[in-house]
Amino acid sequence: MILPHRIDLNKQKIISSEKAVELLGNGWHKADLHVHTCCSYDVPPTESMRPENLLQKGKDNSLDFVTFTDHDTVKAYDILGWKRDDLTTGVELSVSDPVNVGHTVHINVFGFDRQQYMEFSNLAKKECNIYSIIDYFRSNDLPYIYNHPFWFQVGDRPNIFAIPEIARHFPVIEYNMQDLKQKNLFAMILAQRYGKGMAITTDSHTGSIGNVYTVAEGDTFHEYFSNICKGRSYMVVDQPIWKHITGELNAWIELVFSMRRDIREEMGFTTGMGAFDRLVSIMESDILGRSPLVNNAAKEFIKHISGSGLPVLLYMVSKQPQVSKIGRMING
């Protein structure tokens, strides 16, 4: 991967948690701005993933602002309450715009009330126009983020050439720990090229809230987010992306195998890694899944495969043609 020499990635300010300690408590605050609960369709409905338990975990991890961004649903706030001092509303909105984009775009938006959610979610479904949605966010002073710009939904035909133009209309671009390092570097390039802020997130579907976070000054969420938009922030991470994804996979395995088999089959969970998903499907087949002892052995075997880093490596290799294509577009 060749990066343009004029792009200085050091300006995007990634620091360790040890360095972040020097800032926190001195007017700086931290948040993980992309977290899913069991209210998302692709999260195992286990006790640990309930919104109330994740809210407590966020507090235990010393997050100053806690928000949940489930896929196109705000059920977490129906459960927890819409007006809480210890919780900022959020959602991951899927926008399908066949004219301006061609593939599905995911946007995290924050700080809305129930009426505003109904308005912009209906707008997204009715108009299918990403710029109408952005206009709504701006006119209502709602913070919003361009999620994983170079991640594409299964079944979509990616239009990578539309991404730079879309990025120009977002105040903040996401550095997503579930995505490949190269794709996040491309996102950093876009952010620097267009003067956008960046926020690092776990995008966790297994309860790893706060394993990475963004620090910025601001006593309120809007002040905090405003400083991210201005680049007055740091992204805090202590381990490489492949280790984060491997940890997420292992946690996903624990959650899925802890559920009843009938619920597991009904939900049809997937990691997005085809070969790994097929292995999980085989190991939890009717024959192997009848005995709790065998079920546990299957779980440990899959965790061993996952922990080796092989599934992540194979996934990275499978995405290299796409990464190369994106690189040529960015450099061009």
pTM: 0.89
Q: Which pLDDT score, from 0 to 100, does residue 313 have? A: 86
Return the domain boundaries, the chain. 9-238, 243-315
Backbone angles phi, psi at 213, to 5 degrees: -165, 165
Residue 326: CB atoms within 10 A of its CB come to 21
Whether the CB-CB separation of 93 and 119 falls below 8 Å is answered with no
CA distance linking residue 47 with residue 49, whole number of Å? 5
Cα separations in angstroms, 263 against 44, 244, 258, 259, 272: 9, 27, 10, 7, 19
CATH class of 9-238: alpha beta
Q: Are 199 and 171 in contact (CB under 8 A)?
A: no
Q: Compute the distance between CA of residue 216 and CA of residue 143 in angstroms, rounded to an integer.
A: 15
> Mean pLDDT of successive 10-residue segments in the chain (332 residues)?
48 86 92 98 93 98 98 98 96 96 97 98 96 98 98 91 97 97 95 96 97 97 98 96 92 80 61 64 56 72 81 87 94 82
Burial of 184 (0-12, 13-18, 19+ CB in 10 A): buried
Residue whose entry in the numeric block shows the structure tokens 């710029």:
131
Query: What pLDDT does residue 2 have?
Result: 44
Structure tokens at 332: 């061009």
User: For 146, phi and psi rounded to 5 degrees?
Assistant: -85, 105
Number of C-beta neighbours around residue 167 at 10 A: 18
